[in-house]
Amino acid sequence: MLITLLAAPLALALAGYVFTAWKARALERQHPNTGELIEIGGLRMSSVFVPAGENADLPPVVFIHGASGNLRDQMHAFHAKLKGRADLLFLDRPGHGYSERGGPENDLPDGQARAIARLMEKRGIDKAIIVGHSFGGAIAASFALEHPEKTAGLLFLAPATHPWPGGIDWYYDLAKQPVIGWLFTRIVALPAGLSRIDSGTRFIFSPNPRPGDYIEATAPALVLRPATFRNNATDVANLQDYVRRIQPRYAGIRTPTVIVTGDTDGVVYEEIHSRGLARDIRGAELVWIRHLGHKPDYVVTDLAIEALEKIAGKDRNLQESARRAEARLANNHSE
């Protein structure tokens, strides 16, 4: 009787394990690494370096993607519009995309910031404007604190940088656990996650429409591979305590800074993170846009590029551009 009762759940678990192993390989065949793997000491990081053209008018720019992402996300948003204007570095954070995780120091944003600094050195970039979206904002802030000599400026896009009320989704805490987390990522996470890719990416963009080619172009399903899912869960589960410790140090950041955020962000508390950065970093400019969700990199890409230009010393009225963006978004929302 006991064997009969156990047979069904064991069969389901085995089916989930086999499906996860097969589907993870299939995702890698469908979305192979587009970057170059570079040894930076202790791990290899995947990145795409796009050199500046002869008429470059901006300093180098380094893009740091958020949770559950990879280098394709920021590259799809910015590459075509910035190509030729600056050296561009798009990277997979340690343990994401096709980058190796490295040691336990990369479980925290400052460890990942140090890895990015070493990658910049290998790529021949002495100093750059650091762009951080969402979780990448915490890494960008840590980068400026750890490597001010390499930081030409900071652009935060819907950042996650400050302590917030409440916790995180249950599956992040579960996935990082030693035994049950290992089982969860190899049996449950991938098939369950695949069913939520469409709705989840639409939620991230909401209330703005998600680009029709976003899923195919940016391969968000790569995060569902077992090791990557576990790394992502560890990042997210560690973030609250980390920013609680590091946030008091933001006042020490001394670099041109712009924060672009929306008032209808369903992923992070913009009134905590973005307003907090504007308060903590002396001289930072907050660009607050109504009707904008969590993806300013896609929805107001031109404004984000204007922010890069302003950080580089060009005369740009970002508040006026924000009002124009609001009018466009309001019109789109009413249609």
SS (H, E, C) 126-186: CCEEEEEECHHHHHHHHHHHHCHHHEEEEEEECCCCCCCCCCCCHHHHHHCCCCHHHHHHH
The DSSP letter of residue 56 is: -
pLDDT value of residue 2: 44
Which residue spans within the chain are E strands per DSSP?
36-39, 44-50, 61-64, 88-91, 128-133, 151-157, 257-262, 285-289
pLDDT value of residue 301: 98
Question: Does residue 87 form part of some domain?
Answer: yes
Question: Does residue 61 form part of some domain?
Answer: yes
Q: In this structure, are residues 131 and 105 in contact, taking their beta carbons and an 8 Å threshold?
A: no
pLDDT value of residue 10: 72
Q: Residue 251 is part of a domain; what is its CATH number?
A: 3.40.50.1820
Question: Does residue 71 form part of some domain?
Answer: yes
pLDDT value of residue 14: 80
Provide the CA 125 distance to its chain's centre, in angstroms: 21
pLDDT value of residue 335: 57
Question: Does residue 326 form part of some domain?
Answer: yes
The string over 6-22, giving b where at least 16 C-beta atoms fall within 10 Å of a residue's C-beta and e elsewhere, is eeeeeeeeeebbeebee
Question: Does residue 124 form part of some domain?
Answer: yes
pLDDT value of residue 334: 59
Q: In this structure, are residues 224 and 189 in contact, taking their beta carbons and an 8 Å threshold?
A: yes
104-110 own/partner pairs: CB under 8 Å, 24+ apart: 106/43, 107/234, 107/235, 107/238, 108/238, 108/242, 109/135, 109/138, 109/139, 109/141, 109/142, 109/239, 109/242, 109/246, 110/142, 110/145, 110/146, 110/242, 110/246
Give the model confidence (pLDDT) of 260-306 as tens digits: 999 999 999 999 999 999 999 999 999 999 999 999 999 999 999 99
pLDDT value of residue 15: 82
pLDDT value of residue 53: 86
Give the model confidence (pLDDT) of 39-77 as tens digits: 999 999 999 999 998 989 999 999 999 999 999 999 999
Give me the residues of the chain with pLDDT under 70, please.
1-9, 333-335
Question: Does residue 143 form part of some domain?
Answer: yes
Question: Does residue 284 form part of some domain?
Answer: yes
Question: Does residue 324 form part of some domain?
Answer: yes
Domain count, the chain: 1
Q: Which domain holds residue 92?
A: 33-163+239-334
